[in-house]
Structure 1
Amino acid sequence: MNEQKSFQDNSLGSLFLVPTPIGNLEDMTIRAINTLKEVDLIAAEDTRNTGILLSHFEVSTKQTSFHEHNKAEKIPELINKMQAGMKIAQVSDAGTPSISDPGKELVQAAIEAGIAVVPLPGATASTTALIASGLVPQPFYFYGFLARKGKQRTEEITDLSNRSETSIIYESPFRVLKTLVDLKEIMGSNRQIVTARELTKIHEAFVRGSIEEVESWFMEHEPKGEFVIMISGKDDTSIMELTDEQIKLRVQQLIDDGQKPKEAIKEVALLIQRPKNEIYDIYHEL
């Protein structure tokens, strides 16, 4: 194993991971601005969005596009440039690169090529929301975006429902209500959650309460902006909160997602810590 020294002098360039504001431009750090001015090239998720930021801070460094859809062809090109001595800054549209944004593959390639990777601290929506949530902040489990549908989504939510830590997910305004419905179906209606939207912006807002209360609120108030949803950890009060009807629906959802009835009943029994024969009787209405 070799120690990486980010500021070593050598013939290779460096990769700087530069966070950008998640809303409020005043959250841009002095170091981040100076780094963007001093590097030779900025690899941006969307050059138009980053261009607005650069113009605001009077940064004239050239940009190149680097995103999820062109990373396979761009990574070798960027690595070659850094091996030739260039210093490159990588930015996403908002927040910290690699956290639910492009970046990790370029980081891995740079490390493999012996190029120094220099991370800058800065804005990230998950911890910004967490510290104001009122939920237990440590330990926490950051998940990011859930799968949109199917068995994988069900398994992901089931895993989150069994975690003792506060869990953090991201969601778009168009799927917030669906996600709340899915959370309630699997976790029950009483689990405490907090939603945060438009963080650091004028319309920043938090909604706190049980899943059912938060769902009811958003049925009357249209979700707007990007969301962070924080879910309280599982405790003794959340184990037995599913009604018989919710148990039947949960088992049926797992069967619809492709599981055999026996496997679905076993999973639900484990979820709510009740005997399998009880879940079998409830599902079959015996």
Structure 2
Amino acid sequence: MHDNVITHTVPVRLFGLLKLMRLKQWVKNGFVLAPLIFSGEFLNANAVIHALIALLLFCLGSSATYIINDLHDIEHDRRHPKKSKSRPLAAGIVSRPMALALLAILYAALLCGWFVAPQVVLVIAAYTALNIAYTFVLKHQPVIDIFTVAICFVLRVYAGAVALAVPVSAWMFVTTLCLALYLAAVKRRQELSHSGAEGRKVLQKYSVSLVDRYAEMSATGALVFYSMFVMSAKPQLILTVPLVLFGLFRYWYVVEELDGGESPTEALLADWPLLLTVVSWIAVCMWALWPGRG
């Protein structure tokens, strides 16, 4: 009965297809633009265009992986009290053929992207392969599941660097990894707190205290490595260190006191102090790295 989408109007189906692409999650792809900022090329029109193309292609690639995941998990999602209503496939708003057609369109667009930014598409191919492995196998493996999610963020940064043909500091890679591990560990913590081990199989192998320690270790690593990156490679960014520290504190407050964090994107968009911190960090980075400044 869930696949019966005939009763839905065309606008509802279109909305369902857009929701299937999880446009809100495109916020995560902002990591693609990090090399543009840190390279100081954000006033170079050609560099900006290349970075935005990489961002668009990564958004298409990430949406495609979400569709694959939802197709794979459709029966499980139908039994979930929240996902059965929020996921278009599980709710019957979008049929399998419609989802497969959208998936084909997204991959066709990425294939066209090969002729514009082949190196970026190669990174997206690696990201896609890793996500398919995650959907079918890796998300059921404790610790490996968290690291897989984190590596996807590292690939976003790498795609941005490849688009601009600029090197990326090893400090930036390890900082991104630690930050992503922090976000992934907090997500697992909140899933455990809200749904227990019923939300996903791998949660049966975690405890709140364990993922708390993972999150604390990762947050500490992110702060330390970012500070070392700033002091060794970009000393002009020293003013951003307090912002990073505040952001980590605020995010943990959102998790503990406001019960957010199960979706990092929603936590960011719903908490104005956290959103203001991120915007301020970007602004200070651009001010400090402004070409010709000083």
Per the normalisation by structure 2, the TM-score is: 0.24
Greater share of residues in helix: 2
1 or 2 for the larger relative contact order (CA 8 Å, sep ≥6)? 2
Per the normalisation by structure 1, the TM-score is: 0.25
Higher radius of gyration, 1 or 2: 1
